[in-house]
Amino acid sequence: MASKKTTPAQVGKMIKKWKEILGLQHWVIHADLVEAEELLHPDEGLTGQITSRPSQLDALLSVAIHRGRDAVETTVAHELCHVLISPLDCAAELLAAQLSGQAQALHKIVLQEHGEALATQLERTLLRLARQEET
């Protein structure tokens, strides 16, 4: 059985909800609904990705459309958590640029792993709280 596509309107409502939860109302978040194969690392089970520009307060969210509503909302919540921490990522990247060669590469790997872990922890905690409020 084929997965039901999530509509742009549904994703828009999810973005609005999570912008409010995360205090990101001043950000402009554009959404791009894509096939999973169009994401950077679809072979790793990636269901979404976000590119943000904290200095411009805007971001582009790409989310795989052939997923159930709960899976898409989890992706939206997770990717917007990345937006929340993106100013820290930018500052860390500026510091990393001052490092040389191998130290810079190691710093970027550590930053990416910790940023992903933090976004995942925030997403899980906030989704659990939001779902408790809904019941």
pLDDT tens-place string over residues 97-122: 888 888 888 877 887 888 889 999 99
C-alpha to C-alpha distance for 60 and 80, rounded to whole angstroms: 10
Question: What's the helix, strand, coil split of the chain in %, to 5?
Answer: 60, 15, 25
Tokens of 48: 């979404």
- For the chain, domain boundaries: 8-129
Give pLDDT tens digits for 61-80. Answer: 999 877 788 889 999 999 99
- pLDDT of 52 reads 93
Q: What architecture is domain 8-129?
A: 2-Layer Sandwich (3.30)
Residue type, 80: L
Distance between alpha carbon 25 and the CA centroid of its chain, in Å?
16
Residue 35 neighbours by CB under 8 Å, 6+ apart: 64, 65, 66
Average pLDDT over residues 1-6: 62
